[in-house]
Amino acid sequence: MGIVSTYAANVRAAIRTSLTDRVNFFLNAFGMVLNDIFFLALWYMFFAGFRRVGGWGLHDVALLLGLVMTIVAVSGVFFGGYRDMAAVILRGELDALLTQPKPVLARLLARESIATAWGDLVMGIWMLATFADLAWRDVPFVLLGLACGTTVYVASAVVYASLAFGFAGARSFARDLTDFMLLFSSYPGSVYSGATRIVAYTLLPAGFVVLAPVSFLRAPSVATLAVLLASAAGYAALALAAFHLGLRRYRRGLVAAA
């Protein structure tokens, strides 16, 4: 069985597990829908008073939020293991995976599917379809933007989780960094300048998770496409390097258990 088919089988198992308690599943998903509606209502009221902010209008922010919600949703449903990866490393749960032939990182990412992500998926698609001022001809570009944004988001989360190979306090720190990245991704790019802009394009790469896809969709060009593809490839390579360097330490017994 190939890597892709093995990964798909693991994801299907994770989704079935998340559906085991269906009441809890639907409550989590519905709770996220309510959370997203409340968040959108705040932005709607904001633009009712201020028509534009730094060149961004309601349709632009709707595009940004729709992309963010869908990226988080796809990450949670199909790569949900990223969320608690640092804790898994610190609990020593990699030992069992190291005895199996398939790639450790892929098995870690596929081991969980997050129920709340389905709520984000519903709201993200609805935002993109209704408020983002997109046409059918934009669908291939949207899918490309989502693929690249998801890659940067999951890759960054893997880099943060790989800190657990270095120090035992990384569990909450890794999740905090992922949450900060998501927070940075939820605001128009015009609010970032100076040091915050540098952070948004490096440590907490909101710029590459969602701002680069927004720029590509609003003004498709060779330059914006190159930024999109290069950022996805760069962060994916960084994640693979960080994880496998850490895994080498783990194999040598240099990682302290939590």
The model's confidence at residue 1, banded by pLDDT at 50, 70 and 90, is low
Contacts for 31-35: CB closer than 8 Å, 24+ residues apart: 31/116, 31/119, 32/116, 32/117, 32/118, 32/119, 32/120, 32/123, 33/119, 33/122, 33/123, 35/119
Rounded to an integer, what distance in angstroms lies between the CA atom of residue 31 and that of residue 177? 23
CA 210, CA 178: separation in Å to the nearest integer? 14
pLDDT in tens, 138-151: 999 999 999 999 99
User: pLDDT tens digits, residue range 32-67?
Assistant: 999 999 888 888 888 888 877 778 888 899 999 999
CA distances from 29 to 18, 77, 201 (A): 11, 12, 30
Residue 96 token pair: 């069992």
Contact 80, 106 (CB under 8 A): no
Res 95: pLDDT: 84
Tens digits of per-residue pLDDT, 133-185? 899 999 999 999 999 999 999 999 999 999 999 887 788 899 999 999 999 89
Which pLDDT value is given to residue 211? 93
What one-letter code names the amino acid at 253? G
Q: What is the pLDDT of residues 200-253, one digit of tens each?
A: 888 899 899 999 999 999 999 999 999 999 999 999 999 999 999 999 888 887
What's the token pair of residue 47? 């633009």
For residue 165, count CB atoms less than 10 angstroms from its CB and return exposed for 0-12, middle for 13-18, buried for 19 or more: buried
Please choose, from the candidates 164, 162, 211, the residue with its C-alpha nearest in 3D space to the C-alpha of residue 185. 211
Query: Would you give the end-to-end CA distance of the chain in angstroms?
Result: 34
The chain-wide mean pLDDT, for the chain, equals 90
